[in-house]
């Protein structure tokens, strides 16, 4: 069916205010937080009821029209990038917190609820939702599930997958399914873990049951300054080896420190090559003991300056700079490209040095701001998209950084997902047989390949063109290419 015909059908089945089709209406939806990639959708649907979501999916399934589900649009891998010939299904109007169950410490929420809103709603009961991405004021819980988002406190409290109990989803055909339950375990395959981080390829999330935790009695942050990135990296390993699991353990290098300080004026030591922010929480007795232990570890690792927050206001001030790091980059460059790879902690110093070498090789500055405790790197490549060829060079450099992460036993994502940005590096991370299994899972849930096609899982043909399928008995698997 033609574009005009599809849009006419949508207007027929949905209220007029739920369908956007004029170019000026579509423009705000042409990209997600990774603004390097842009594409106008064919049409945007913003449903107000579950029945309208089902109706849209059924219509698109019948007409073989692809669908991309979108939440708040804060993703950083191009996962919610629209398709020129597809429907962009925006779930922002599903923004209600349905229940706060204090006895079972859970909340039932719709997918458009922002991350921070859950904790704010639970606060009167002394509870909160642990995952806290830097974009938590804006990012929605449905997107958090789709990308398996993390945050500063995921070292101790886990990613999204560790903090949800069940999902309500719709298949491409509009069938409603409940995955998981409020029990600690469910029979059968762990489909909850499979769905979390599936990037909209398997189903559309319409409801989430999240775990709520009691707020710790107290928390303190230790800020430590180091004369080299190597020393800071070694200190990260030493803290974990000492037996402490911090609530958060973050690293900023010198360029990031300077950018943040000019933007936020947090009092970070600008003469440091790197700083660590280490938060411990719990009872007052435990926090006092662990803060002292962290301070000793940092001194032994070579910290030349250390500070401890003495009240909640100081603690928030210590974190304010870290949480403002990404917007602070706007003072340094017209554009930045945020990477997201994860490595074993013991390789932090080596990988950061290699990133600096790559930065010099490509002539592009890099600021490093990341979750050091779990090895989740966020190198920020500074570039100017107005300069011919600079975006392409930036993408190539980003790919090299991700392949570096793989080479030391890491992975190409920690919390941002693969989307479109890292799809070529999936060809390096996984071999032919593994990719075939990914496609088999997709086929089981979405046999017509209509949900977010072209994202996250590369075809074998794409990998052959990328030149990365070199792990199948040393031979390029030409016969399998026909299947995908």
Instruction: In whole angstroms, give the CA distance from residue 306 to residue 316.
Output: 17
Q: Which residues of 233-260 are buried (b: 16+ CB within 10 A; e: fewer)?
A: bbbbbbbbeeebebbbbbbbbbbbbbbb
Q: Is the dihedral of CA 234, 239, 240, 242 positive or negative?
A: positive
Tokens matching residue 71: 């939440």
β-bridge partners, 218: 282
pLDDT for 142 = 98
Is the pLDDT at 272 greater than 90, yes or no? yes
pLDDT for 472 = 33
Average pLDDT of the residues in 347-364 = 95
Average pLDDT of the residues in 333-339 = 93
Q: What confidence tens digit (pLDDT) does each residue in 401-437 have?
A: 999 999 999 999 999 999 999 999 999 999 999 999 9
pLDDT for 482 = 31
Least confident of 102-116, 337-351, 462-476: 462-476
Least confident of 91-95, 180-184, 445-449: 180-184
Residue 60 or 33, more confident = 60
What is the gyration radius of the CA atoms in the chain, in angstroms? 23
β-bridge partners, 274: 226, 253
pLDDT for 474 = 30
Q: What confidence tens digit (pLDDT) does each residue in 194-234 have?
A: 999 999 999 999 999 999 999 999 999 999 999 999 999 99
Q: What confidence tens digit (pLDDT) does each residue in 75-131 have?
A: 999 999 999 999 999 999 999 999 999 999 999 999 999 999 999 999 999 999 999
Classify strands 87-90 and 67-70 as parallel, antiparallel or unpaired.
parallel
- Alpha-carbon distances of 187 from 39, 227, 420, rounded to whole Å: 42, 52, 34
Torsion-angle region of 407 (φ positive above 0: left; ψ -120 to 50: alpha; else: beta): alpha
pLDDT for 141 = 98
Least confident of 298-302, 305-309, 471-475: 471-475
Task: Kindly report the three-state secondary structure assignment for every residue of the chain.
Answer: CCHHHHHHHHHHHCCHHHEECCHHHHHHHCCCCCCCCCCCCCEEECCCCHHHHHHHHHHHHHHCCCEEEECCCCCCCCCCCCCCCCEEEECCCCCCEEEEECCCCEEEECCCCEHHHHHHHHHHHCEECCCCCCCCCCCEHHHHHHHCCCCCCHHHHCCHHHCEEEEEEECCCCCEEEEECCCCCCCCCCHHHHHCCCCCCCCEEEEEEEECEECCCEEEEEEEEECCHHHHHHHHHHHHHCCCCCCEEEEEEHHHHHHHHHHHCCCCCCCCCEEEEEEEEECHHHHHHHHHHHHHHHHHCCCCEEEECCCHHHHHHHHHHHHCHHHHHHHCCCEEEECCEECCHHHHHHHHHHHHHHHHHHCCCEEEEEEHHHCEECEEEEECCCCCCHHHHHHHHHHHHHHHHHHCCCECCCCCCCCCCCHHHHHHHCCHHHHHHHHHHHHHHCCCCCECCCCCCCCHHHHHHHCCCCCCCCCCCHHHHCCC
- CA-wise closest residue to 307 among 456, 317, 382, 167: 317
Is the pLDDT at 239 greater than 90, yes or no? yes
Average pLDDT of the residues in 379-398 = 95
pTM of the model: 0.93
Q: What confidence tens digit (pLDDT) does each residue in 128-158 have?
A: 999 999 899 999 999 999 999 999 999 999 9
The share of the chain scoring above pLDDT 90, in percent, equals 90
- CA-wise closest residue to 430 among 469, 400, 402, 464: 469
pLDDT for 30 = 96
pLDDT for 468 = 53
Average pLDDT in the chain: 93
Domains annotated for the chain, with CATH where assigned, are 3-90 (3.30.43.10), 97-214 (3.30.465.10), 218-327 (3.30.70.2190), 333-421 (3.30.70.2740), 424-481 (no CATH)
pLDDT for 476 = 31
């Amino acid at each position: 069916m033609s574009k005009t015909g599809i849009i006419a059908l949508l207007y027929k089945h949905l209220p007029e205010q739920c369908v956007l089709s004029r170019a000026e209406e579509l423009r705000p939806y042409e990209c997600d937080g990774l603004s390097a990639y842009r594409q106008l959708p064919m049409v945007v649907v913003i449903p107000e009821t579950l029945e309208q979501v089902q109706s849209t999916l059924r219509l698109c399934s019948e007409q073989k029209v692809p669908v991309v589900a979108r939440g708040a649009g804060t993703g950083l891998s191009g996962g919610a990038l629209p398709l020129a010939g597809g429907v962009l299904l925006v779930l922002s109007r599903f923004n209600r917190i349905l229940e706060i169950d204090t006895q079972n410490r859970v909340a039932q929420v719709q997918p458009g609820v922002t991350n921070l809103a859950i904790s704010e709603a639970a606060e009167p009961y002394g509870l909160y939702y642990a995952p806290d991405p830097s974009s938590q004021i804006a990012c929605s819980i449905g997107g958090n599930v789709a990308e398996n988002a993390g945050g500063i406190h995921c070292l101790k409290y886990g990613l999204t997958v560790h903090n949800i109990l069940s999902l309500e989803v719709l298949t491409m055909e509009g069938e409603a399914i409940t995955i998981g339950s409020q029990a600690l375990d469910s029979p059968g395959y762990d489909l909850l873990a499979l769905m979390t981080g599936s990037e909209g390829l398997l189903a559309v999330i319409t409801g989430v049951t999240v775990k709520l935790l009691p707020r710790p009695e107290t928390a303190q942050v230790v800020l430590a300054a180091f004369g080299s990135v190597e020393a800071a990296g070694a200190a990260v390993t030493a803290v974990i080896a000492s037996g402490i699991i911090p609530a958060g353990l973050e690293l900023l290098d010198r360029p990031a420190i300077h950018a943040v300080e000019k933007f936020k004026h947090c009092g970070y030591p600008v003469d440091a090559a790197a700083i660590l922010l280490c938060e411990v929480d719990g009872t007052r007795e435990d926090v006092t003991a662990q803060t002292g232990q962290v301070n000793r570890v940092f001194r032994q690792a070579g910290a030349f300056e250390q500070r401890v927050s003495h009240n909640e206001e100081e603690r928030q001030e210590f974190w304010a700079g870290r949480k403002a790091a990404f917007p602070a980059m706007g003072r340094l460059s017209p554009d930045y490209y945020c990477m997201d790879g994860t490595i074993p902690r013991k390789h932090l110093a080596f990988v950061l040095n290699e990133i600096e070498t790559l930065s010099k090789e490509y002539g592009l500055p890099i600021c490093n701001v990341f979750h050091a405790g779990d090895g989740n790197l966020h190198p920020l490549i500074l570039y100017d998209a107005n300069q011919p060829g600079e975006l392409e060079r930036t993408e190539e450099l980003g790919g090299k950084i991700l392949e570096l992460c793989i080479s030391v036993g890491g992975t190409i994502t920690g919390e941002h997902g693969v989307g479109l940005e890292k799809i070529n590096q999936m060809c390096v991370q996984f071999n032919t047989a593994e990719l075939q299994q990914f496609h088999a899972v997709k086929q089981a849930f979405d046999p017509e390949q209509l949900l977010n096609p072209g994202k996250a899982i590369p075809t074998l043909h794409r990998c052959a063109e990328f030149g990365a399928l070199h792990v199948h008995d040393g031979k390029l698997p030409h016969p399998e290419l026909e299947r995908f």
